[in-house]
Structure 1
Amino acid sequence: MFHERKNSDVLLNNVKSIDRHLIPNAVFIKVNANISALYKGSVRNLADLKKLSMPKCGIKIVLPQAFQNLPKLKIVHLQDNKIEIIQNGVFNYLPIVELYLQRNQIRIIQPEAFDNMPNLFKIHMNNNQLQQWDNNWFKNTPKLTLIYFRRNQIQTIPLKAFANIKTSHGNNGNEMVDMKIYLSRNNISSIHLQAFQGIDALNELWLDRNYIEKIDVNTFSHIKELDKLFLQRNYISDVDKHAFRNFEVMSLLNLSNNELTCLPYEVISKARVINITKSNIYCDCLLYLSEKLEEDELPNEILHDSECLLD
């Protein structure tokens, strides 16, 4: 059964498969049904379909080629289901721009599951059960710009974790670094010293609310450009003075809510704004850093909640 809501918007109830014989001209389809599995050809042959929404349908399994012959499909909503595995062959070669898979039970993404998605711009994988990041993901996804993997259980960032990702994209004829990676609220405690090998620029990197204890001299050594780095609410007690030696100046470095007692001046000088609120920075250290910035005539701002510089 289906109900047309607008000219080409359709709400489907109690269906097992969708094709042109059921709704030939649909542009937006929302499914409201209990569907445990999407089999091969479950959604197929819809020449005008641009948006498919199937949240809260109880989907547990999505088999390869579940989506076929959907030449205009741009947005797919599969959030709030019970999917556990993303298999190779489900999304490959589809023209999807935005893919929403948050709040499932995903614990495995097969190595080629997100390969050859030439239009993919945004992927939402928040609130799942992934324990590993696979450096094989995202081959031939040249437009991928927003990667959301918050609130999973990822424990480490491995060797060449993002080497398949193109971090800058054309904008009015100019290349712009616009890649944003969100890995907040995982269980990350280690970052391979060559984790960022293969990429040299990012717009934003979110590693807040993890279990990182130290920023080593080589943790970010492969990156030359990073606008904003979020490391708040970790357990960081030490940042090597050369950790950001290859960087251009960041606009923001957030190290608040960590276990720092001091920071090297070389780190402070690499961020226009550095947030160290709710840390345990010694007054002597904070005074030295502030005086050194003034002496060098740098406009960098230290955000803190210490009383020792308030006199």
Structure 2
Amino acid sequence: MTMNRKLSSVFLLLLLFSDIYSVCDNKNGLFSVNATVHYNKAYRGFKVNSNFNLLENYTTIDVYQANVIDLCEGTIKNFPFLESLSMININLTKIQPHAFKNVPQLKILSLAVNKLSQIINGSFNNIPSLEIIYLSKNEISDIQQSAFQGMPNLREVHLDRNKITQLNANIFRGSPQIHIIDFKFNIIKYISRDSFEDLRPQHKKSMTIFLNKNNIEEVYDLNFNFKNPVNFHLEGNHIQQISTILHNLKEGSRLYLNNNKISCVPDDVVEYLTKTSKELYILNNPITCECLNRTDYLLESISR
């Protein structure tokens, strides 16, 4: 009886963990793909139908027809010259930890227009050279903490047109070169104070954060623990008030609040803007006539 209980417990654990990317759904998904390949930028690309693993000598691979449900551990392995990999619209639903191995030159990865619902820790392990990643137009609703951790050369992350509802902290910890983060066209309602607390850029470029076309109603005080100016895009949301977020941005930053529901700019914000190099954009908001008149009067008073 004890042995049967132990076997039942083991079986139950296997069932529970099988959904956490422990089983490969289609090991043979890349045995036959249609792709456009390049030896290098100086050579014109050409189309091939091949086993993906036989394309190891190319610098650019653009897979445009395949049925790859699952990138299992070691699926993309031993591509010493590969610099750019595109696998768009191939029915991809999972990326398991350590799916990429020995791709030392890979700089650009596009997995856009697929069916990914989650980005788990370790999805992009072993790609320290990666600079740009496109995950646009998937079905992503969950990004685990540290999903992009320890990627020393990562510059751009594109997660637009997904189903993300909130931003977790510590997503980008250990990615010091990042300067473009794109979350536009999601369904984000809430931005926590520590959503970008983990950003520690070691460059002098402006940080550009796209959160336009979401469902954001209010932006709380955000922790930006860096000296870089920020181009903060919040156009096309449901924001009604200009919070103190402007004060938390570094000098030279730009806050875009066009096409929201702002009816007035508070006097203290107007006065603050006359003393700073920060810029505020509020086109196409329902600003009241009373507010406009008061702002004009305040600006005249300040200029005297």
| TM-score, with structure 1 as normaliser | 0.76
Mapped partners of 1:71, 1:5: distance in 2:
18
**Aligned match of 1:129:** 163
Deviation at 1:168, TM superposition (A): 5.9
Deviation at 1:207, TM superposition (A): 0.7
Of the three residues 251, 258, 278, the one matched with 2:285 is: 258
Matched, 1:39 2:66: no
Of the three residues 78, 81, 91, the one matched with 1:58 is: 91
Mapped partners of 2:76, 2:109: distance in 1:
12
**Aligned match of 1:309:** none
Runs of 5+ unmatched residues, structure 2: 1-31
Deviation at 1:71, TM superposition (A): 0.4
Of the three residues 141, 146, 158, the one matched with 1:112 is: 146
Mapped partners of 1:202, 1:168: distance in 2:
13
**Aligned match of 1:101:** 135
**8 Å contact from structure 1 (residues 119, 141) kept in 2:** yes
Of the three residues 24, 31, 56, the one matched with 1:24 is: 56
Mapped partners of 1:75, 1:150: distance in 2:
20
Q: CA RMSD in A?
A: 2.5
**Aligned match of 1:300:** none
**8 Å contact from structure 2 (residues 136, 159) kept in 1:** yes
**Aligned match of 2:192:** 158
**Aligned match of 1:49:** 82
| Paired residue type of 2:212 | S
Deviation at 1:281, TM superposition (A): 5.7
Mapped partners of 2:38, 2:293: distance in 1:
66
Q: Give the match's secondary structure for 2:284.
A: coil
**8 Å contact from structure 1 (residues 206, 231) kept in 2:** yes
Deviation at 1:156, TM superposition (A): 1.3
**8 Å contact from structure 1 (residues 168, 179) kept in 2:** no
Moved over 4 A (4+): 1-6, 8-15, 243-247, 280-283
Q: Give the match's secondary structure for 1:248.
A: coil
The one-character-per-residue Cα deviations of 1:51-84 (angstroms, maximum 9, x if unpaired) are: 0010011111111111111100000010011111
Q: Give the match's secondary structure for 1:52.
A: strand
**8 Å contact from structure 2 (residues 37, 61) kept in 1:** no
**8 Å contact from structure 2 (residues 197, 223) kept in 1:** yes
Q: Give the match's secondary structure for 2:255.
A: strand
Number of positions where the alignment pairs a residue of Structure 1 with one of Structure 2? 264
Deviation at 1:228, TM superposition (A): 1.9
**Aligned match of 2:112:** 79
**Aligned match of 1:180:** 208
Of the three residues 251, 261, 268, the one matched with 1:235 is: 261
Deviation at 1:241, TM superposition (A): 3.5
| Paired residue type of 1:65 | H
Deviation at 1:47, TM superposition (A): 0.7
The one-character-per-residue Cα deviations of 1:257-300 (angstroms, maximum 9, x if unpaired) are: 22323xxxxxxxxxxxxxxxxxx46563354256446x45xxxx
**8 Å contact from structure 1 (residues 160, 198) kept in 2:** no
Q: Which has the higher helix share?
A: 2
Deviation at 1:12, TM superposition (A): 5.5
| Paired residue type of 1:154 | I
| Paired residue type of 1:215 | I
Q: Percent identity?
A: 30
Mapped partners of 2:133, 2:37: distance in 1:
23
Q: Give the match's secondary structure for 2:209.
A: strand
**8 Å contact from structure 1 (residues 75, 98) kept in 2:** yes
Mapped partners of 1:192, 1:53: distance in 2:
37
**8 Å contact from structure 2 (residues 263, 287) kept in 1:** yes
| TM-score, with structure 2 as normaliser | 0.78
Q: Give the match's secondary structure for 1:229.
A: strand
**8 Å contact from structure 2 (residues 210, 233) kept in 1:** yes
Of the three residues 92, 109, 118, the one matched with 2:125 is: 92
Q: Give the match's secondary structure for 1:150.
A: coil
Matched, 1:222 2:248: yes
**8 Å contact from structure 1 (residues 162, 199) kept in 2:** no
| Paired residue type of 1:96 | L
